[in-house]
Amino acid sequence: MITIAQNTRGYTFVEALISVLLLSVILLGVHGVLLTGNTVFTKDSTLLDMEQQTRNAMDRMVREVRQASSQNIITNYNGTTNDYIQFFTPTAPTPNGLQYYLSGTNLVRVNNSGVAKNVASNIGLLKLSLTGSLLQIQATAQKTMYSVTISFPLTERVRLRNE
């Protein structure tokens, strides 16, 4: 003979709905934390990439311009912005020398053969000022992510060697 337990009780529909609601709230909280973490990671990775790219470009420019003398440096080429430099070094004595300029948001290097190469991107500002034998180079990398502008300013002062 089969006996059925008289005391068996299951979950009511209201209890199941409350359980689902609590689980949904917990999952939404976890999703928010993961989304915030992903946003912070992406912004930090982008900032790190911009810093490395700007520093590498600035180091290359400083190494090359340090070999020039103040008589062989031309800045402020177009008369409106300070985003162009042309200089001559012992390794680049040709009439064109070496050039760095800002093209849109790209920092471009043109070697003495006339070959242009992009050395950094997302550069919002390049300002050059020459006072005697001291050249000051200011570069600011900028990028907009998640409707927030991330920027990294970098300034170098170069004492020219060949004075």
Range with lowest mean pLDDT among 58-62, 68-72, 102-106, 156-160: 68-72
Instruction: Say what the pLDDT of residue 24 is.
Output: 97
The pLDDT tens digits for 29-44 are 999 999 999 999 998 9
Flag whether 62 is in a domain: yes
Is the pLDDT confidence value at 158 over 80?
yes
Q: What is the count of structural domains for the chain?
A: 1
Question: Residue 46, Cα to own-chain centre: how many angstroms?
Answer: 6
Flag whether 13 is in a domain: no
Cβ neighbours of residue 126 closer than 8 Å, sequence gap 6 or more: 82, 83, 100, 101, 102, 107, 137, 138, 139
The pLDDT tens digits for 98-136 are 888 888 889 999 987 888 999 999 998 888 888 888 888
Q: Which domain does 37 fall in, by range?
A: 31-159
- Kindly report the pTM of this predicted structure: 0.72
Instruction: Say what the pLDDT of residue 4 is.
Output: 61
For 81-104, give the DSSP string: -S-EEEE-BTTB-SSS-EEEEEET
Burial class (CB in 10 A: 0-12, 13-18, 19+), 150: middle
Flag whether 2 is in a domain: no
Q: Which two tokens stand for residue 53?
A: 């790219």
Flag whether 57 is in a domain: yes
